[in-house]
Amino acid sequence: MPVGPRTTRRSRAARPAPPLGSLTQSVHRDGSACGSCGSERVTQLSMSLTDGTPVRFVSCHVCEERSWLSSAGPLSVDSVLDRTRKQ
């Protein structure tokens, strides 16, 4: 059996993933800003919580603010923790 990268059957989103190392390269930043201090030096990760809620985690490199945003708006840390517990 050949050894190689693991493949999945799920199709990726239409937008291609940025290259590795893109977090440090300003050309790959999308203009998003920290909701607390306004800095554009943020890291964003899209993820699904254990209960299936899709969220975007945003972490600011300047003021260290961290937030979780869902389609319904911001989530508190307690709400995120509740949604990640296995039933």
DSSP string for 37-68:
T--S-EEEEEEE-TTS-EEEEEEETTT--EEE
Asked if 61 and 42 touch (Cβ cutoff 8 Å), the reply is: yes
Q: What is residue 72's predicted lDDT score, i.e. its pLDDT? A: 92
pLDDT 10s digit of each residue in the chain, 87 long? 455 555 444 554 566 766 655 555 666 566 678 889 999 888 888 899 999 999 999 999 999 999 999 999 999 999 999 999 887
Tokens of 37: 């201090």
| Percent of the chain as helix, strand, coil, to the nearest 5 | 15, 25, 60
Specify the pLDDT at position 44: 87
The domain limits of the chain are 34-77
pTM (global) more than 0.85: no
Q: What is the pLDDT, as a whole number, of residue 45?
A: 87
Q: Decide: residue 58, CB within 10 A, 0-12 exposed, 13-18 middle, 19+ buried.
A: buried
